[in-house]
Amino acid sequence: MARDLVRLYIRFGFGAEALQVLRVSALSGGDSMLLKSMAEIMEYGHSLGPGPLSDQFECDSFAALWAILGSAEIPAAAQPNAAAVLRAIDALPPQLRGLLGPMASDRLIAAHQPDLAARILRIVERGLEKPTADFEMADAGLSLAEGDIPAAERSLDNVVGSNTELSPKALIALIDTRLENHLPIDLETADLAGAYAHEYRKDALGAELKRVHILALAEAGAYDTAFAELAHFVRDHDAETNRMVRSHAMAALTRNADDVAFLKYALDVHDPDRLTLAPASGNAVANRLISLGFPHEAEPYLATAAGEAEGRTRQLLRARAALDQGKPRRAEDMLFGITGPEADLIRAEAQSATGNHDAASQLFAALDRPDDAVNQAWLASNWQALRQTEDPLWQRTAEMVDGPDGDAAPKPEGVMARDRALIEDSVTARETLTQLLNRLAVDNADVPLE
């Protein structure tokens, strides 16, 4: 009698009730372990311990499906028998198919087997009058696995709007999807996350809802509210969680805020935790501070070590910050071991700042920056280099200062001819100097140049 009641409850998806009957009746032997495992799957989403079918993934029977459902994670080496799984899904009563099909699909997607997951969902969909929240959530997961972000958003939007127990989870997934794919988030979505976070504040889901609430506010441009909420959030969470949320919020601020809003929080000395950012976020903040003329204030964001690509970017930013503070030798020291165009550009500017214009000219030339290379050759009085440019003005300047290249033209005979040549040279020199001063934009010239 008790066994029949347990089976009835399982048939309709009532896991908690089936487990209660099993506890009260103390059923044993026969299929009691299997029934317990099935009831746990209905209630918790998987078996709480090794089930009787936990290693039956490749079995050519319905056991292949229950092996998937009973495992919290499908082992990497497992190869579920697709034909057996699909037969089992198709044979389930409609209410169980709608419950267990999406569950199996989620498990397979997590195991990087989206093809079988998709086939399961198509079988489930055929038996539905309209998509359920469970189905839409699973379908969103499949769309994400396939890289179809718009389809995933549509499914998640439907679940959010369904006002079911899955709605807050769908909202978390929707906001995370938009964050990961750099898609806009409106204030209405952020406010909905805030409302759910308040409703679930005493539930484990509350922390996740508050996290996405803060990040959605930052993405929506509500920076004051976002950072006020962040100040409350950090009191109740561990350092790594706080670092992750703060890093995302600061990244959104750096990417989207106007200069005034950005500087308000990037330079907030009353919030020392602002410096405890993930390397990518710290680098982004420092880069914008440097570009705005705050190289000294950028340095604390670059103080800690970072690995691989972010470490290289951080080293370049440290060198740039030093150079912009008038410390070219320090900038060069910070580039030790770094190669590439970005590093060489800083080296070239540092060489120029220390007066080594010939070396700077060579570096700029190698970087295919001919204008900068010529300017440095000019500062170095490297007339030979100026002669070799394709610019007639620089060629004339070098000839005027250093004399003509190659064999000199014969001097004209006679006083009148020599005087006429001197006057022509004087006119040419004046025209050359006028053009040169105009090009170099001499700001303190007292007389307008003609």
**Mean pLDDT, 10 residues at a time, over the chain (450 residues)?**
85 88 78 87 87 85 92 89 94 90 94 94 90 93 93 95 93 95 94 95 92 97 96 90 95 96 92 89 97 96 90 96 96 93 95 93 92 85 78 69 56 54 58 67 46
**For residues 265 and 223, is the Cβ–Cβ distance under 8 A?**
yes
pLDDT recorded at residue 406: 47
pLDDT recorded at residue 420: 58
pLDDT recorded at residue 351: 95
pLDDT recorded at residue 205: 93
DSSP code of residue 237? S
How far is the C-alpha of 120 from the C-alpha of 102, rounded, in Å?
Answer: 8
Nearest Cα neighbor of 433 from 403, 401, 405 is: 401
How far is the C-alpha of 271 from the C-alpha of 237, rounded, in Å?
Answer: 17
How far is the C-alpha of 103 from the C-alpha of 133, rounded, in Å?
Answer: 12
pLDDT recorded at residue 443: 47
pLDDT recorded at residue 344: 95
How far is the C-alpha of 333 from the C-alpha of 374, rounded, in Å?
Answer: 26
The separation between the first and the last C-alpha atoms of the chain, rounded to the nearest angstrom, is 110
pLDDT recorded at residue 262: 97
Q: What predicted TM-score, i.e. pTM, was given to this entire model?
A: 0.79
How far is the C-alpha of 289 from the C-alpha of 301, rounded, in Å?
Answer: 10
